[in-house]
Amino acid sequence: MAEFSFELNDDQKQVRDWLHGFAADVIRPAAAEWDEREETPWPVIQEAAKVGVYSLDFYAQQYFDPTGLSIPMVMEELFWGDAGIGLSIVGTGLAAVGVLANGTDEQIGTWIPQMYGDVDDVKVAAFCSSEPDAGSDVAAMRTRAVYDGANDEWVLNGTKTWATNGGIANVHVVVAVVDPEAGSKGHASFIVPPGTPGLSQGQKFKKHGIRASHTAEVVLEDVRVPGHCLLGGKEKLDERLARAREARKGGSGERVKNAAMATFEASRPAVGAMAVGTARAAYEVALDYAKTRTQFGRPIIDNQGVAFPLADMRTRIDAARLLVWRASWMAATGKPFTAAEGSMSKLYASETAKQVTAQALQLLGGNGFTREYPVERMHRDSAIYTIFEGTSEIQRLVIARTLSGMPIR
């Protein structure tokens, strides 16, 4: 078992520096353009594929790092470059994690490569869980999957929303209700292969931030997928549903995790790392500005009113990173989140990103409010971290329930 350490090893440092160079040389110069265009930055994703940043092999190597620190390190550097483009590059990973967390070895080997495509023909994937009336309240999910035993097919109907890469993805991973009486425990995840009839893109959202990342509704109308597209297989699903029914019948309160929750639990520290990257980028702009901007004959950083906020910003960023690293290390080494450490990391890092980017904008004054400086975009981008993959309120609820053992509402 890898011991927890604050020091990256030589290989990790090499990857970090390589990614930092890619973020500085490729992502940052393109950030403002694709934010304005509000389109998927396919040329940047292609460049990422050419150098190996956007590939199954690269993420597999980082994912299986025994220290757990490689994935948050990757996320921090890419999102230091730009949050919208960063999400376009890593958004496929959420669908891939969904397959890794719930799929069989055969499903993992079959579908994850198709999510990325290849250097000459890059593809993306989408994880579809949220619905118009079911975001934080996953028990309210209405998308149904009904098994057609005669044809060994599942028939999916419903509408998903807030799906990164939704509708433009080569592979969609869709969470649906298979047993309505089981509530959130009656959910399962399905692969919708490329070109499957009945799946279409609904509304594409025009967003406040992360505008280079495609976010849309996904509409499912009598979408038929083969039985082997049920992640984990039907036997495993039937066993899980049977346990849930027995638990309900006996009132034992046994917890049975559903597929969406398993995916989100695995990804929350990574989202915290994204937030750390955005916060760090804004802090660095503010620090450089404070050292070079002069007022009354001296750099503004000479004033405590400027220097002290910068000190607080850096302290919060470092604290957020350490929480993210701790949670990532715990997950990689199989240590249980007895105090909801994963949710703690996501909560603190996302709140830090909002506070730090707001303070950076304030320190730049009128310049910070213009698009001539990147902190305006970073401030808009930071708002998403307290919303997606579990709002700050949901993180606090998870933490409070874990600490108290009570069904806090």
Is 246 annotated in the active site?
A: no
> What does each C-alpha distance from 105 to 191, 231, 238 come to in angstroms?
14, 10, 19
Tell me which CATH code domain 10-122 carries.
1.10.540.10
- HEC string of the chain equals CCCCCCCCCHHHHHHHHHHHHHHHHHHHHHHHHHHHHCCCCHHHHHHHHHHCCCCHHHHHHHHCCCCCCHHHHHHHHHHHHCHHHHHHHHCHHHHHHHHHHHCCHHHHHHHHHHHHEECCEECCEEEECCECCECCCHHHCCCEEEEECCCCEEEEEEEEEEEECCCCCCEEEEEEECCHHHHHHHEEEEEECCCCCCEEEEEECCCCCCCCCCEEEEEEEEEEEEHHHECCCHHHHHHHHHHHHHHHHHCCCCCCCCHHHHHHHHHHHHHHHHHHHHHHHHHHHHHHHHHHCEECCEEHHHCHHHHHHHHHHHHHHHHHHHHHHHHHHHHHCCCCCCCCHHHHHHHHHHHHHHHHHHHHHHHCHHHHHCCCCCHHHHHHHHHHHHCCCCCHHHHHHHHHHHHHCCCCC
What was the pLDDT predicted at 135?
73
Evaluate if residue 202 carries a pLDDT over 50. Answer: yes
What was the pLDDT predicted at 353?
98
What was the pLDDT predicted at 316?
98
The model's pLDDT over 359-388, given as tens digits with 9 standing for 90+, comes to: 999 999 999 999 999 999 999 999 999 999
| Cα 255 to Cα 82: distance, rounded to the nearest angstrom | 38
The model's pLDDT over 97-131, given as tens digits with 9 standing for 90+, comes to: 899 889 999 999 999 999 999 999 999 999 999 99
C-alpha count within 13 angstroms, C-beta hemisphere, residue 43: 7
What was the pLDDT predicted at 254?
43
The model's pLDDT over 294-335, given as tens digits with 9 standing for 90+, comes to: 999 999 999 999 999 999 999 999 999 999 999 999 999 999
Q: Which residues are CB-contacts of 82 (< 8 A; sequence separation ≥ 6)?
A: 23, 27, 28, 30, 31, 35, 212, 377, 381
The model's pLDDT over 388-397, given as tens digits with 9 standing for 90+, comes to: 989 999 999 9
What pLDDT band is residue 259 in, cutting at 50, 70 and 90? low
Q: Which of 221, 376, 389, 393 is catalytic?
A: 389
Domain ranges in the chain are 10-122, 125-250, 259-404
User: Which fold is adopted by the domain 125-250?
Assistant: Butyryl-CoA Dehydrogenase, subunit A; domain 2 (2.40.110)
β-bridge partners, 292: none
Yes or no: is domain 259-404 CATH 1.20.140.10? yes
The model's pLDDT over 338-348, given as tens digits with 9 standing for 90+, comes to: 999 999 999 99
